Amino acid sequence: MLAGSAGLVSVPVIEGQEKRPSDPWTVAQTIQPAELASELGDKGGTPPAIVYVGFRTLFVGGHVPGATFHGSASTEQGLSDLKKWAEELPRTTNLVIYCGCCPLEKCPNIRPAFTMLDKMGFKKLRVLILPTNFATDWADKGCPIQKGM
């Protein structure tokens, strides 16, 4: 008899969507680049509110079209500015946050931003999954880019 083999179910997981112990979000609270690009291109739908939570220089160099920047979420000032902006939003806002400054598993910005917004009660909060970085996982895949502030 093989110990431990009974009752195990193999569940396929999309690359980059694994739930890591350090991730405060669930798989259902994530969105892949192609999915977000599709939502942005849907002329009949309402696009999500998109917030870049990384570093200003990277935002200026290129970001998801329509994204806003309220400071780096790895800093107290950045989190404070993000919270001030978010306080005015209905908690049912379709909200996508992303960084892409570095590999997602090491990102200093995305987890503090998600945790704060989740605690504020946002019901449709999602994280854009960029496993490597914004350039590799978004720009190089042909997704739309906006430059500047």
- How many CB atoms are closer than 10 A to CB 3? 5
Hey, what amino acid is at 99?
Answer: C
Q: What is the mean pLDDT of each run of 10 residues along the chain (149 residues)?
A: 42 48 88 95 88 96 96 96 96 96 94 97 97 96 92
Domains defined along the chain, listed by start: 27-141 (3.40.250.10)
The structure's pTM equals 0.84
By C-alpha distance, which of 127, 103, 124 is closest to 114? 127
Question: In what helix (H) or strand (E) does residue 134 lie, and over which residues does it extend?
Answer: helix 134-137
- pLDDT, position 6: 45
